[in-house]
């Protein structure tokens, strides 16, 4: 004998698991990927900050 209530719940759980697996593939990133991206963004920020003009340099008269 099959309990239809249990069978329906099992079917719903399986569908939810399948959707979750697809979303993990589509949207998921590993912790290492997130850290690598954060490191790259920080490196770019520091690079740009190092090339920014300071307030004093903006107000100096050009030489020449």
CA neighbor of 4 nearest in space, from 20, 12, 15? 12
pLDDT in tens, 1-21: 779 999 999 999 999 999 999
User: Can you give the pTM of this predicted structure?
Assistant: 0.46
Identify whether 14 is part of a domain: yes
- Could you give the CA distance from residue 46 to residue 15 in angstroms, rounded to a whole number? 46
pLDDT in tens, 9-60: 999 999 999 999 999 988 888 899 999 999 999 999 999 998 888 766 556 6
How far is residue 32 from each of residues 4, 39, 52, measured CA to CA in Å? 44, 10, 30
Identify whether 21 is part of a domain: yes
Identify whether 43 is part of a domain: yes
Chain centroid, CA 16 distance in Å: 23
Structural domain count of the chain: 1
Residues 6 or more apart whose CB falls under 8 angstroms from that of 29 comprise: 37
- For residue 13, the enclosing domain spans 4-58
- Could you give the CA distance from residue 60 to residue 2 in angstroms, rounded to a whole number? 86
């Amino acid at each position: 004998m099959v309990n239809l209530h249990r069978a329906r719940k099992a079917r719903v759980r399986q569908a939810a698991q399948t959707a979750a697996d697809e979303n993990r593939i589509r949207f998921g990133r590993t912790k290492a990927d997130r850290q690598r991206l954060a490191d790259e963004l920080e490196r770019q920020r520091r690079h740009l900050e190092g090339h920014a003009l300071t307030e004093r340099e903006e107000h100096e008269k050009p030489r020449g």
